Amino acid sequence: MENEQLLEVKKLQTYFTLRKWGFLRVGEVKAVDGVDFDLRRGEAVSVVGESGCGKSTLAKTILALEQPTGGQVYFNGKAIDITDKEHLEWYRSQVGYVQQDPYGALPPFMTVRRILEEPMVINGIKDHKERERRIYQVLEDLKMTPVKEFINKFPHMLSGGQQQRVVIARSKILEPSLLVADEPVSMLDPSVRVEILELLRKLQLDYNLGVIYITHDLSTVRYFSERIFVMYGGKLIEKGEVEDILANPSHPYTRALLEAISDPDPENVNTFKKVPPGEPPSLASPPPGCRFHPRCPDFIEGKCEKEVPPEYELGGEHKVSCWLYEKEG
């Protein structure tokens, strides 16, 4: 029954209907449009993209918080059925969700103990001692020691980094095999970010967790995951192992992203960055063909604006959706 693939996502689509006056359908927002990938047991992948590219919707669809309009998510080889209540309950206990804004994600009137107990109560862990044991275990894993000092505090008494640890603890308390972390550190100070990411990494390795790490910050990705998926306009346009993508970015958009990141180097003062013009496409009316073509520096006329590029393999895990690689593919 143990499966090598923890999660398989096949041709996933999540569209939202746009309505006028509450009932007239006037179009769709194609937030996730044909996403394919799989995740091995114990593997961490990063989904990188700008805001509005659909990465949070992808996370929510995987978490079964949104109903996909097409495609399927398989977990441990089983298709996720959002309409089957019992099945959904089981699935939710297997998947943890780390929210972006820790303060918004924690109920202000509950103590840390109550917050961590709640998922266990809902999932029928009745033994009080077992619940207590798990709370202590998970808080120790997250280096919130001495646990006694934190366990009776309310969220507002904790710093941002500590709040985020409670959020992670809560996602971990049911001992899931998959964590979905949606921008887990973007609200935190840079000096705390690294610490939280290292804790997440350690949890992942210690408990052989699969992690989907959603972020817009490419520079932290290398420290955190095995593979990168680059998302643009609702599609994954490049996938590959971290080192492959950082050393050899193949999609023009990935190149632009890497170029745009600053390294802390005082020499930067004298150079300008090459930034593609324009804005990310509206997902309600995405451009035809490749979604990046209006901004692309390597635009091939008569091709890119007509057809959506298929995925070409560049060797190993490295795949790219771009017409530039047609011959090689």
Partner 1 sequence: MNTQNDQFRVENLYLSFSTRRGTVQAVEDVTFTMNRGQTMVLVGESGCGKTSLGRAILRLLPRNVQDYRGKVFLNSQDIMKLSREKFRREIRWKKIAMVPQAAMNSLNPVIKVSEQVIEPLIKRGTGRERRKAMEKAREVFQLVGVPQDFLERYPFELSGGMRQRVILAMALITNPDLVILDEPTSALDLLTQANIMNVLKRIKQERGFTFILITHDIATSSELADLAGIMYAGQLVEFSRAYNLFREPFHPYSRKLMASVPSLQEKKELEYLPGQPPSLLEPPQTCRFLDRCPDSFERCEQEPPVIEVKEGHQVKCWLYK
Residues that bind partner 1 (CB under 8 A): 50-51, 159, 189-195, 198, 216-220, 222-223, 246, 256-266, 268-269, 272-273, 275-276, 279-280
**C-beta of 266: minimal distance to partner 1 in Å?**
4
Q: Which residues of 123-145 are buried (b: 16+ CB within 10 A; e: fewer)?
A: eebeeeeebeebbbebbebbebe
Q: Which is nearer to partner 1, 14 or 162 (CB)?
A: 162
**C-beta of 114: minimal distance to partner 1 in Å?**
24
**C-beta of 72: minimal distance to partner 1 in Å?**
31
Q: Which is nearer to partner 1, 124 or 190 (CB)?
A: 190
Q: Which is nearer to partner 1, 83 or 191 (CB)?
A: 191
**C-beta of 117: minimal distance to partner 1 in Å?**
26
Alpha carbon of 112 to those of 32, 105, 116: distances in Å?
Answer: 35, 12, 6
**C-beta of 271: minimal distance to partner 1 in Å?**
9
Q: Which is nearer to partner 1, 42 or 276 (CB)?
A: 276
Q: By the 8 A CB rule, do 197 and 116 touch?
A: no
Q: What is the DSSP string of 240-286?
A: EEHHHHHHS--SHHHHHHHHHPPPS-GGGGG------SS-PPPSSSP
Q: Which is nearer to partner 1, 134 or 291 (CB)?
A: 291
Q: By the 8 A CB rule, do 80 and 72 touch?
A: yes
